[in-house]
Structures are given as structure tokens and as C-alpha cells.
């Protein structure tokens, strides 16, 4: 049953991958699909901090913005290739993540949430006000699209990604890469240390996990992935402005992670898809109703509240994530409910009475 | 101009202090950053203006009614959003708080429109727009004096409520140990609701005062003000009511001086920078106890 389900799920995924090659592919649909892929990268990146480590990060968009502007400025001023910029932007993101995380991650989650929030607001203020560098509210136009220079293989193999389809595949590649890395990290020593910290910091520390160390690593990796997403976004949209990196975006990405289930990588993918599609639908509906497009965030706010109230683990709870959902404990619970241990129960009652 | 900047900063700071008190009280009692508090502040201003323009009430009556409405909103917020999550992980409550904040903000956007509105000046008592004192280049308006009086009056009243009444004692007991307080027969949920009502009322007063002072109100006004007030609460030491007052005034003055002497572009940045610096360097704040879990 489980295997069949997985195969069935793969089919629509493959169908979507072939879609850009079809003759009647609409540019709008491709655009939305690429946007969904970018948000998938962001959601997977953000997932590390609240999902794996249990810390609320409200400033994720700050790193996205840092990555995007790093890519934009390096492209415009130095004409560097996209393939070189991605690691540079990721490094820059990770650097800021470490700088912000190292002094603040020793605090409890609430304080950390607020610091990240303040940080992302400062990033937006910086991008708006340092006109000599970023052109401020005017934005940064004229960023070259991604190029792929394979002329050392064959002289005419030089591609510029002006079309929607190559960008879509590039984004899909990025998602696949991040997804693979995430999966490996989750199963590694690193991932287990993060889970331990999330479930019980004290117990983790007692087992020799250096909490601050692992939290800073988590935060830096998350920041690096956000910066990578921003890097692709800059080269894809070819225009940047500080307005694109407001708190709303952080909130939206957080909403995706929460919807999919905190700590669940696949859930983050589904959450990103659902909310990007919902955003497009709401854009049409709200415009028809004569309401400003920002009001779609009301729906997002409501989704967050309702999910936390009725399905705190999201649509797809991560199985190994919460102790209560642990298969071993579930089986044990079932056996206790079935009365398999009734003898011991009677004993317990006897001693307490 | 230093004196003028100081007076402006003090006015702003007292308003921040009024909002910050709401954050700090709720945090003290249930250890939750109530992100929706900024939205209550915004609702206060909008209720007041709506009561003046739609119902034609005089300013003081409208102000009182708006404050009562906001206190009820605060209680509703607690009952609907936070009460079901009392035993849930803190991350869940925090995310709910942000969700409620975004929800309320956009609800206001739909009801009142996204454009900023002027405060109906005609309804204000005439003396408020006159200069009360002029000393050389420094001026003090009656409006500023009114803000000083209301803010300080409310804080004294709050201090008396917390320290001299039975409910206040219950609040302090709850802040120390909820389980023990419940065992002593304190109705925990009622006291938490009362805390929300009190904080929301203070926030609403601040919202109305800001709307009058700057003569403008808009649905997203609670966002920046909320964050700054939270910064003030952190600066003073979260959970400490006198700390929130001190923090608010310090932050307001710092912001006015920063905007006047450093760069007005980074006016909002001052608050964020102060907040981050305090959290990093002295997380217990100016008056807070060093009880922060550094796990």
C-alpha cells in the first residue's frame, strides 16, 4: 500500500516535469510553477531551524534578501557566472547566519525569534537606505539571466536562460539538490543531534551534544539555503527591490513549513505548492471582490491558527519527529489500551491505594 | 534643539511604555509573546475614530468606549486563540500569536481600507492643539501634556492594581508559579483573561493617543509600534512592569535623538538595533531578574 502510494505520487510529479516541453505550455503556469519551486527551496531551508531544532525563525527572508542582492550586485558589477555566484551567495548567507546566530542562539526560543525578526527588518532598512549600493527603493534592474557556458565542449554551446522552461528546470534541479542534501543531513549525526536538541535540550547536553555549536550550524545551513534561493530568484526575475523582502515573505515561508508539518521535508514541498497555488487563486478572487491583494494574508493567518489548534503537527506529521508519534510508542499504546498489561495495571492500582 | 528632541522622545517613549506594559504583563503570566498586541493597539485607534465619525460621540466618551471594546477583544483573543494551547509546545502558541496578528491586521485592512485616515480633528477639544508652554525655541503643546498625564496616570493606576488589589496579587502569584497559584484556589483562566483585558486597554489608549498625536491611522500601524514596544519591554526586562515603563521612555528618547542627530532614515533601525544589542549583551534587561534559561 505504502509503496503503491509513493509510485502514484511520483506520476503527477513527472507529468509536471514534462509540462514545459509540451507545445501548448502556458508561460503563466510555468511562472507559477517556478515560483513554487523557489518557495520549496526556501521552505526546506527554513524547516531546519523550527522543524529540526524547534527554534522559531522569523527573519528567514533576511537571508533570502542577502542572497538575492549578493547575486544581483555581483552580476551587475562583476559579471560573474551564476555557477560561481551560487556558492558565494550561500557562503555570504552562512556567514551572516553564523554572525547572528553565535551570540543569540544561547537564548531561549522567544528571544531568538525576536532577534531574527529585528535582523530581517534591519536588512530591509539597509537595502532601502544604502542607495549608493542597492539603489534603494528604485530597485536593482537589469540583472543578467543565468547563462551556461559550455563552449569548451562545443563552440556553439552557449546558452542564456531567457525562456521560462530552462529556468524551470534549473529551479527543479536546485530543489532536487536541496532535497537530497536535507534527506542526508536528517539521517546523519547532525540531524540526530538537532532532533535531540529539539526534544530535550538538557538531555541532549547530558549526552555530550554541544547545543550552541549544533544550533549555529543549523542556522547557518538554513541561511545558506535561503541565500541560494535568493540567488536564483535574482537571476530569474532580473529585478530586485527591498519591498520583496519584507516580513510577509518570512511569514509565508513559515506558513508553508507549518502547513506541511514542522520537521517534515516532504511536507515543506507540499506546503509550498499548496500556498503558492492558493496565493494565485486568492489573487484572482480578491481582485474580483475588489479587495487589495494583501488581504490574502488573512487566509494565511487563519491557516496558521487553525493548524496549530487542530493539527499541530501539520498535514503530514513527521513520523519519527514527535515522541508520541513514534511507531514503537504507538504500538505500545495500542497494546496497553487492549489490556495486554492489565495484570501490571492492577498491581499499580494496588500499591497506590 | 536638544530640549525639543527630548520632549518629543519623552512623548513617544511614554506611548511605547503603555504598549510595552501589555506585552510584559502577558509574558509574565503565560510566557507568551503576544504578537497580536500591536493589532489591539491599532484596533483601539480605529474603534475610537469609527465611534466618533459613525456614532457622533464626543472624544472622551469615544475613547472610553474604544478602550472597553479593546479590553473585550483582548479577552476574546485569549479565549479563542491562546487558551486551547495552554498545554501545547511554546512554538505552537508563538505561531498562533503571529497568525492572529496577521489575521487581525488584514481584517482591519478589509473593513477600513488600506489608505491612511486623518483623525477627526473637529471632535477634539479645542485646547489640545494649542501651545501650553513656550520657552525660547522649545514648545510644549497641551496635547503632549495630555499624553503625559494619561500615560503616567494609567501607569500609576496599573501599579496600584497589581500591588494593592486581590486580583493583582493573583496575577503576581501566577507569574511566579502557575501550578502553585491554582492550588491556592486562584481561578487561573479568569486571571489570565483579566491580564489580557488590562494590557489591551493600555494598548488601546496608546493607539488612540498616537492617532491623535500624528493625526493619522492605518491598518498596519500596529506592526512597527508593536515591535518597538516589544523592544522596549525587552530593554526594561521582560516580565517586569516598571521595566517596561523605563524601557519605553529610554527607547523613545533614543529614537528621537537617533533620528535627530544620526540619520532619520534609520529611525526604525534604532529600535531594532537596541533590541538586538540588549538581547545579546544583557538579556535580562535594565530592571529584569536574570532568570533567563540559557539552555
pLDDT digits (tens, 9 = 90+) for B24-50: 889 888 888 888 999 999 999 999 999
Residues of A in contact with B263 (CB under 8 A): 129
Q: What CA–CA distance (Å, rounded) separates B163 from B261? A: 40
Contact B234 A104 (CB under 8 A): no
Q: Which residues pair with A147 in a beta bridge?
A: A160
Residue of B nearest to A131 (CA): B265
Q: What is the extent of the structural domain holding A63?
A: 29-342
What's the half-sphere exposure (Cβ side, CA atoms, 13 Å) at B122? 4
Number of domains forming the structure of chain A: 1
Is A6 a domain residue? no
Mean of pLDDT over chain A: 81
The predicted pLDDT at position A346 comes to 45
* pLDDT tens-place string over residues B228-278: 888 888 888 887 888 888 899 988 888 888 877 777 777 778 888 888 888
* Cβ atoms of residues A96 and A223 within 8 Å: yes
Determine contact, residues A323/A199, Cβ cutoff 8 Å.
yes
- Residue B161 belongs to some domain of the structure: yes
| Confidence at A326, pLDDT banded by 50, 70, 90 | low
In a domain, B290, yes or no: no
Q: Do B292 and A108 touch (CB under 8 A)?
A: yes
Task: State whether residue B293 sits within 8 Å of chain A by CB.
Answer: yes
Domain assignment present for residue A5? The answer is no
**Cell reading at A256:** 508553508
Instruction: Write down the ipTM of this complex.
Output: 0.81
Range of the domain at B162: 2-222
Are A242 and A55 contacting, i.e. CB atoms less than 8 angstroms apart?
A: no
In total, how many domains does chain B have? 1
CATH, residue A235: 1.10.3470
- Residue A75 domain-assigned (yes or no): yes
Residue B152 maps to a domain: yes
Within-domain flag for A347: no
Q: Do A50 and B96 touch (CB under 8 A)?
A: no
d(CA A288, nearest CA chain B) in Å: 14
Residue A105 maps to a domain: yes
CB of B94 less than 8 A from some CB of A? yes
Tens of pLDDT, residue by residue over B188-218, are 999 999 999 999 999 999 999 999 888 888 8
pTM assigned to the model: 0.82
Using a CB-CB cut-off of 8 Å, the residues of chain B touching A129 are 263, 265-266
Q: How many CB atoms lie within 10 A of CB A41?
A: 27
DSSP A78: I
pLDDT tens for each residue of B39-89:
999 999 999 999 998 888 888 899 999 999 999 999 999 999 898 888 887
Q: How far is CA B126 from CA A212, B142, B143, in A?
A: 59, 10, 10
B280 interfaces chain A, CB cutoff of 8 Å: yes
CA atoms within 13 A on the CB side of B224: 15
- SS3 of B34, please? coil
The answer to whether position A15 is within a domain reads no
Q: Are A75 and A85 in contact (CB under 8 A)?
A: yes
**CB within 8 Å: B106 and A50:** no
Amino acid at each position: 500500500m505504502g509503496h503503491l502510494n509513493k509510485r502514484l505520487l511520483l506520476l503527477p510529479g513527472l507529468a509536471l516535469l514534462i509540462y514545459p516541453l509540451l507545445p501548448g505550455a502556458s508561460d503563466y503556469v510555468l511562472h507559477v510553477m517556478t515560483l513554487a519551486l523557489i518557495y520549496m527551496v526556501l521552505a526546506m531551508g527554513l524547516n531546519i531551524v523550527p522543524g529540526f531544532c524547534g527554534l522559531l525563525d522569523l527573519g528567514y527572508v533576511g537571508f533570502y534578501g542577502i542572497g538575492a542582492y549578493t547575486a544581483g550586485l555581483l552580476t551587475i558589477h562583476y559579471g560573474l557566472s551564476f555557477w560561481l555566484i551560487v556558492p558565494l551567495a550561500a557562503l555570504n548567507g552562512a556567514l551572516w547566519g553564523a554572525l547572528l546566530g553565535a551570540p543569540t542562539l544561547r537564548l531561549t526560543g522567544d528571544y531568538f525569534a525576536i532577534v531574527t525578526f529585528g535582523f530581517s527588518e534591519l536588512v530591509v532598512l539597509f537595502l532601502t537606505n544604502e542607495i549608493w549600493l542597492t539603489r534603494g527603493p528604485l530597485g536593482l534592474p537589469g540583472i543578467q539571466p543565468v547563462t551556461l557556458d559550455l563552449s569548451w565542449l562545443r563552440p556553439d554551446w552557449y546558452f542564456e536562460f531567457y525562456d521560462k522552461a530552462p529556468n524551470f528546470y534549473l529551479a527543479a534541479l536546485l530543489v532536487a539538490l536541496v532535497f537530497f542534501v536535507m534527506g542526508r543531513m536528517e539521517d546523519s549525526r547532525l540531524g540526530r543531534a538537532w532532533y535531540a536538541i529539539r526534544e530535550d535540550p538538557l538531555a541532549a547536553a547530558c549526552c555530550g551534544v554541544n547545543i550552541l555549536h549544533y544550533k549555529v550550524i543549523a542556522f547557518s545551513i538554513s541561511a545558506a539555503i535561503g541565500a541560494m534561493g535568493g540567488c536564483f530568484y535574482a537571476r530569474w526575475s532580473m529585478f530586485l527591490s527591498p519591498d520583496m523582502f519584507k516580513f510577509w515573505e518570512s511569514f509565508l515561508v513559515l506558513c508553508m513549513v507549518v502547513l506541511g508539518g514542522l520537521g517534515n521535508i516532504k511536507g515543506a514541498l507540499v506546503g509550498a505548492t499548496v500556498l503558492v497555488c492558493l496565493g494565485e487563486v486568492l489573487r484572482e478572487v480578491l481582485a474580483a471582490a475588489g479587495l487589495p491583494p494583501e488581504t490574502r494574508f488573512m487566509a494565511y493567518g487563519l491557516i496558521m491558527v487553525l493548524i496549530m489548534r487542530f493539527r499541530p503537527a501539520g498535514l503530514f506529521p513527521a513520523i519519527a519527529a514527535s515522541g508520541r508519534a513514534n511507531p514503537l510508542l504507538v504500538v505500545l499504546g495500542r497494546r496497553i489500551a487492549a489490556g495486554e498489561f492489565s495484570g501490571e495495571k492492577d498491581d499499580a492500582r494496588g500499591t497506590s491505594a | 534643539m536638544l530640549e525639543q528632541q527630548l520632549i518629543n522622545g519623552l512623548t513617544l517613549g511614554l506611548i511605547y511604555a503603555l504598549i510595552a506594559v501589555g506585552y510584559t504583563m502577558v509574558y509574565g503570566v503565560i510566557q507568551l509573546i503576544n504578537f497580536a498586541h500591536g493589532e489591539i493597539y491599532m484596533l483601539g485607534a480605529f474603534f475610537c475614530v469609527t465611534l466618533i465619525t459613525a456614532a457622533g460621540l464626543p472624544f472622551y466618551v469615544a475613547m472610553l468606549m474604544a478602550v472597553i471594546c479593546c479590553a473585550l477583544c483582548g479577552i476574546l483573543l485569549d479565549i479563542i486563540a491562546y487558551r486551547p494551547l495552554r498545554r501545547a509546545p511554546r512554538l505552537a502558541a508563538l505561531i498562533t500569536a503571529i497568525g492572529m496578528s496577521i489575521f487581525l491586521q488584514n481584517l482591519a485592512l478589509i473593513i477600513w481600507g488600506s489608505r491612511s485616515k486623518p483623525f477627526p480633528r473637529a471632535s477634539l477639544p479645542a485646547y489640545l492643539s494649542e501651545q501650553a508652554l513656550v520657552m525660547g525655541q522649545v514648545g510644549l503643546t497641551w496635547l503632549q501634556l495630555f499624553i503625559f498625564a494619561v500615560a503616567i496616570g494609567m501607569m500609576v493606576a496599573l501599579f496600584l492594581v497589581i500591588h494593592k488589589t486581590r486580583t493583582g496579587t493573583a496575577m503576581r502569584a501566577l507569574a511566579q508559579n502557575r501550578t502553585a497559584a491554582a492550588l491556592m484556589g486562584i481561578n487561573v483562566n479568569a486571571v489570565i483573561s483579566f491580564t489580557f483585558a488590562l494590557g489591551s486597554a493600555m494598548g488601546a489608549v496608546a493607539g488612540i493617543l498616537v492617532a491623535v498625536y500624528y493625526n493619522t491611522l492605518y491598518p498596519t500601524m500596529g506592526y512597527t509600534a508593536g515591535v518597538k514596544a516589544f523592544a522596549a519591554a525587552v530593554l526594561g526586562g521582560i516580565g517586569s512592569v516598571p521595566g517596561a515603563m523605563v524601557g519605553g521612555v529610554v527607547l523613545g528618547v533614543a529614537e528621537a535623538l537617533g533620528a535627530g542627530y544620526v540619520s532619520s532614515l534609520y529611525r526604525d533601525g534604532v529600535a531594532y538595533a537596541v533590541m538586538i544589542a540588549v538581547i545579546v549583551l544583557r538579556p535580562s534587561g535594565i530592571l529584569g531578574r536574570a532568570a533567563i534559561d540559557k539552555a
